[in-house]
C-alpha cells in the first residue's frame, strides 16, 4: 500500500485539516500481496473515536495489511471531538465529512464516487459517526460499520460513566447528548426518514464487546435496527472498549463487506 499523510485547508471548517490515506499497489514487497491497478478505487472511510485522531487506526491495527489484497483505499480523517456533527456551537463537521472531504479527496486521489463502492465504518464516537453519516447521506454510502457504539443521544450517562460537560453541550446543545433526541443527530430519525421517503438504505454491520461499557446502548440500537427494514447484522464477542477487540473485528467487518474476497482475508 502507498501511505499518504495529507494536510489541507478546509474552507468548511476554516482551518487546516489532517487525513491519513492508504492506496492499493500491485507490488507490495516481501510478505504482502498487492492488487491490480484501477482507474478509481472503492473507498473505506474509517473513523476514529473521541480520544484518537487520523493516525490511530493505522498505528493500533494492521488495517494496511488487511486491505492490501482487496483493491480498497482507506481514508482516515481527523474529526477531533466533533461526533461527526455540525456543532451546536462551533464548526460544521458533518458538512465537512459528507461534502467537502470526499470532494477534495477525489481531487487528490483516484477514489470512486459510486455509492456501491463507498463504505463508512468507525469505533466508539466513530461508530456513531459512521451511522450518522451513512444514514444521513444514504445515496452516497452502500454499507456502514459500527463498532462499540450506538445511538449516543440516548446514552444513559450514569451507566456509561460519561458526565454532562461543556464538550457535549458544545456539540449537541445545552442538555448534552439528550439535546440530540428528535433531531438529525438522532439515528432513529434518520433511519425512519429514509424508509418514509423511499431513500436508499445502506447495509449495516454492528458489533460490541460483551464487557464494553457501551454494550447496553449497542444492544438497544441493534434491537431497533433488527425490527426495521434495513439489511442489518449484529454481533458480540469477548472484549472491552479496546483496540484488541477492534483489530479483530475490522477483519470480520471486511469479510462481511466484501464476501467475494473473504478468502484473501482468511
The pLDDT assigned to 159 comes to: 45
User: Which distant-in-sequence residues (6+ apart) come within 8 Å of 238 by Cβ?
Assistant: 209, 210, 211, 245
- The x, y and z cell numbers of residue 19, run together, are 487525513
Weakest-pLDDT range from 10-24, 121-135, 157-171, 236-250: 157-171
Report whether pLDDT(264) > 80: no
pLDDT score for 160: 45
Report d(CA 133, CA 156) in Å as an integer.
23
- When pLDDT is averaged across residues 15-23 and rounded to a whole number, the result is 97
Q: Decide which of 156 and 120 is more confident.
A: 120
pLDDT of residue 73: 97
Give the whole-number percent of the chain exceeding pLDDT 90: 80
Q: DSSP assignment of 205-260, as one string?
A: EEEEETT-TTHHHHHHHHHHHHTSSS-EEEEEES--SSHHHHHHHHHHHHHHH-GG
Is the pLDDT at 32 greater than 90, yes or no? Answer: no
pLDDT (tens digit per residue) in 35-62? 888 899 999 999 999 999 999 999 999 9
pTM of the model: 0.93
Residue range 241-263: mean pLDDT, rounded: 94
pLDDT, tens digit (0-9, with 9 covering 90-100), for 138-188? 999 999 999 999 999 998 655 444 445 677 777 777 777 788 899 999 999
Helix or strand run (H / E) with residue 106: helix 101-108
In the structure grid, which three cell numbers stand for residue 31, read together? Answer: 510478505
For the segment 24-35, the average pLDDT, to the nearest whole number, is 81
Q: Cβ(24)–Cβ(41) under 8 Å?
A: yes
Amino acid at each position: 500500500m502507498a501511505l499518504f499523510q495529507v494536510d489541507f485547508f478546509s474552507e468548511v471548517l476554516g482551518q487546516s485539516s489532517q487525513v491519513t490515506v492508504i492506496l492499493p499497489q500491485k507490488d507490495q514487497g516481501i510478505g504482502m500481496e498487492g492488487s491490480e491497478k484501477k482507474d478509481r478505487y472503492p473507498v473505506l472511510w474509517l473513523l476514529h473515536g473521541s480520544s484518537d485522531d487520523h493516525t490511530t487506526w493505522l498505528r493500533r491495527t494492521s488495517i494496511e495489511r488487511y486491505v492490501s489484497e482487496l483493491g480498497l483505499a482507506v481514508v482516515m480523517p481527523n474529526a477531533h471531538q466533533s461526533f461527526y456533527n455540525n456543532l451546536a456551537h462551533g464548526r460544521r463537521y458533518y458538512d465537512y465529512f459528507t461534502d467537502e472531504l470526499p470532494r477534495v479527496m477525489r481531487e487528490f486521489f483516484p477514489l470512486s464516487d459510486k455509492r456501491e463502492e463507498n463504505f463508512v465504518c468507525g469505533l466508539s464516537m466513530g461508530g456513531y459517526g459512521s451511522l450518522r453519516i451513512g444514514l444521513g447521506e444514504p445515496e452516497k454510502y452502500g454499507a456502514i460499520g459500527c463498532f462499540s457504539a450506538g445511538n449516543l443521544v440516548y446514552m444513559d450517562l450514569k451507566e456509561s460513566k460519561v458526565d454532562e460537560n461543556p464538550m457535549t453541550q458544545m456539540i449537541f446543545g445545552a442538555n448534552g447528548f439528550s439535546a440530540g433526541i428528535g433531531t438529525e443527530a438522532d439515528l432513529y430519525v434518520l433511519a425512519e426518514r429514509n424508509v418514509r421517503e423511499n431513500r436508499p438504505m445502506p447495509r449495516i454491520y454492528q458489533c460490541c464487546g460483551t464487557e464494553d461499557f457501551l454494550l447496553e446502548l449497542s444492544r438497544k440500537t441493534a434491537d431497533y435496527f433488527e425490527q426495521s427494514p434495513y439489511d442489518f447484522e449484529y454481533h458480540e464477542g469477548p472484549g472491552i472498549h479496546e483496540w484488541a477487540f477492534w483489530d479483530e473485528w475490522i477483519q470480520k467487518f471486511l469479510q462481511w463487506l466484501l464476501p467475494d474476497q473473504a478468502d484473501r482475508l482468511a
